[in-house]
Amino acid sequence: MKRKTVAQEICCEGIGLHKGLPVTMRLIPRESDGILFRRADLEPGKNEIKLSLANTFDLTRGTNIKNEEGAAVYTIEHFLSALAAAEISDLMVELDGNELPIGDGSTRHFLELFRRAGIRELDAEARDLVINTPVWLQKGDKTLVILPYEGYKITYAIRFEHAFLKSQLAEFEITPETYEKEIASARTFGFDYEVAYLKKNNLALGGSLENAVVITETGVLNPEGLRWPDEFVRHKMLDIIGDLKVLNRPIKGHVIAVKAGHELDIAFAKLLENL
């Protein structure tokens, strides 16, 4: 597979999920050297953050990166997931804030942005991450495993001690077509009892029923309901695709995840980094 970038510069606007502030994002073609984020609102020379495992931090509520000078970009996992699905390996992402636009809480707005910009192949070949022997990581009741597989497949199981959302299981071959059809529209979600806590701690300030599914004891608050009965586990698959994109290598393997999350995802990616 060839490395890829966008065919032309393109921008979009929106609000960040956690800070709730307006942000403009500009995508700029890049010929090599991976994904680079640039904070246009900060001092030049100290405002660029390379996508790498070494730059990840504070993974409790999302996947975030920062450079040695402290310039940071928060909540990048949805965007990275869309990049992985579109097979984009090289890009400059310029922002005038510290988050990316949340859109409707899924990744379909990012895929549409890539479609409008076009995608261009580069001369260099992408370096596949080929799994030849099983790798696993467990922390309490959370588990991640990757097995040798000719292709990219994810099996994901979630379980919550909750009256409405208990267990869900999904499995998909991860191709651009399957991702767009089965995963891209799955929205981020949270529980109604978390909302006050999050806002008190200056999180989810941009969250609303327009960009997140809010779960109650009997269903969801969103008047339109769910996009699939198992939308929650599909969104968790969307998240892990984004988290593993920090490696910025096409994966050939079968990922099996049980109750994983950003912290475990990134720890797992570190195990795969040198394969």
- Distance CA(86)–CA(110), nearest Å, equals 10
* Catalytic residue annotation: 262
| 107 token code pair | 């990744």
